[in-house]
A and B are shown apart, each in its own frame.
Chain A
């Protein structure tokens, strides 16, 4: 390999890394210094949460080939855990968030025992049915006040800037976890598995273990993001916490942004939150328009925005592709 070419490439990498670090530091500093308006903070907070949710769905569907339509199962479980911990047991909210993530991870573990026997569409259906079953169960479970919903109790209630910082940190950790997971040996196996599960299995990729790892990681982070969302929202109902709307949003974000890329969910989350903010002026039409956009993108841009840029301009910030020079 030509030496100057290598240094040029490394230089470009360092530049991109630098820009990224500056951006992240700015997002923290501006948030903590109170330079964002409450509204701006709320929007950025939502973007950060959707980045996490999208990244975790992408880990499953885009990199592992397990399309889940039931991520709301984790969001609802974690949201309810937060409410039960803070209002039934009067414990601090951060315990609720952590336990919410843990319960989601445990749910993922339990689901995997049944769901991992299925492939493709069956898996997608089963995740969705699980979420619907949980919604029905929570609607008639007395302990969580049935359909009446529950609220988060915290004294003093965390302000939006604190929740924003937590959400921002979560999204950065989520991206780093997925990125390093994909860069690891397990990641190579995951990609092989997505492209051809039988071939991957025959050359020694432990499909079950790799899938389980992704599913549990995805469940954990999706749960944490859900708990933070409901910490900001203040109350949860079975219809919302386990609502199909979550999957709609997540699928939209990853498809628009670009499935199977790290940048995709980030771009998609920004577009989704911006669009829903703009479309909130037209209640009723927003979901219809989002649905149309999603269909047009699936038909016209099969790789999403990030995927198309990557293919046309060969530009990536986080490349998970393996090249000879490393």
Chain B
């Protein structure tokens, strides 16, 4: 039981990271990015290719994948989604759905359906806690990176000029535009940041779990869960939701874990769709 709690909490940090990009886009751009899970898996594959190709540790591949995914997000938002958003949210939603299908099948074509995994040197290490079980070092590192990412992102949104303009746009797009904020540019940066967090999330989940081209939709649902439980655009909420979702899943075991997660999600959607930590 103690071991399960430890695992659940450590998983929560990663889940918060999986969800944070989704919650940003939901809160700021007001778009449901149905390709978020696929972007996470895409990043995991990029990380795997770079780490094998250059002989780097998967953690160091982040130096390349994070800026790369930022650029992809920025271009995607500016070239495609901004224009569609003018026609309402549905066309953009369906385009991200199309993107998820394209990415998933392109990965399947290139990498086949076999399981892939990012290997690090401290894979099997763990810290014993006396009679209370053990803390796996890998999961601890991954959880801490997740929390650190959220912390940095929060700081960025609170303290920098770009961060403030992103929050202003999220609160009132017209007022922000009148104050001289370039709304479309801001959306591009927000999408870039969201995909940058997806890049980190991809490497993290790739280190703790095997991944296939089709695992993206599973992470999308986790991201949804985190968004819905935490509330749109709330980073603190995202973290708490990540822990709730991680614990619910670990306590349910391998068979019913996912099912419990889904049920928590549906109940939350029905009872409190604005999330536990809504503004």
Interface, chain A (partner B; CB < 8 A): 67, 69, 114-115, 117-118, 120-122, 124-126, 128-130, 132-133, 136-137, 140, 244, 248, 251, 255, 284-285, 287-288, 290-292, 294-295, 298-299, 302
Contact = CB atoms under 8 A, between A and B. Distances in A.
B144 interface: no
Interface of A is mostly: helix
Interface centre among A120, A287, A292, A295 (most CB of B within 10 A): A295
A258 to B, nearest CB: 13
A288 B266 contact: no
Contacts of B267: 114
A290 B101 contact: yes
Interface of B: 32, 34, 80, 83-84, 87, 89-91, 93-95, 97-99, 101-102, 104-106, 108-109, 217, 221, 224, 228, 255-256, 258-259, 262-263, 265-267, 269-270, 273
B262 A291 contact: no
A291 B105 contact: yes
Nearest to A290: B101
Contacts of B83: 299
Contacts of B87: 302
Nearest to A130: B266
Contacts of B32: 121, 124-125
A300 to B, nearest CB: 11
Contacts of B217: 132, 244
Contact of B269 (A126, A284, A291, A294): A126
Given A125-B32, A298-B84, A114 B266 contact: yes
Given A115-B270, A302-B87, A288 B98 contact: no
A128 B105 CA distance: 20
A299 B224 contact: no
B97 to A, nearest CB: 6
Contacts of B105: 284-285, 287-288, 291
Closest 5 CB pairs of A and B: A133-B262, A291-B102, A291-B101, A287-B105, A114-B270
A129 B258 contact: no
A307 to B, nearest CB: 13
B102 A118 contact: no
Given A129-B262, A295-B95, A118 B106 contact: no
Contacts of A69: 34, 97
Contacts of B255: 140
Given A284-B105, A285-B109, A129 B94 contact: no
Contacts of A137: 259
A129 B99 contact: no
A120 B89 contact: yes
B262 A132 contact: yes
Contacts of A121: 32, 89, 93
Given A121-B89, A137-B259, A298 B98 contact: yes
Contact of B266 (A120, A129, A294): A129
Nearest to B112: A284
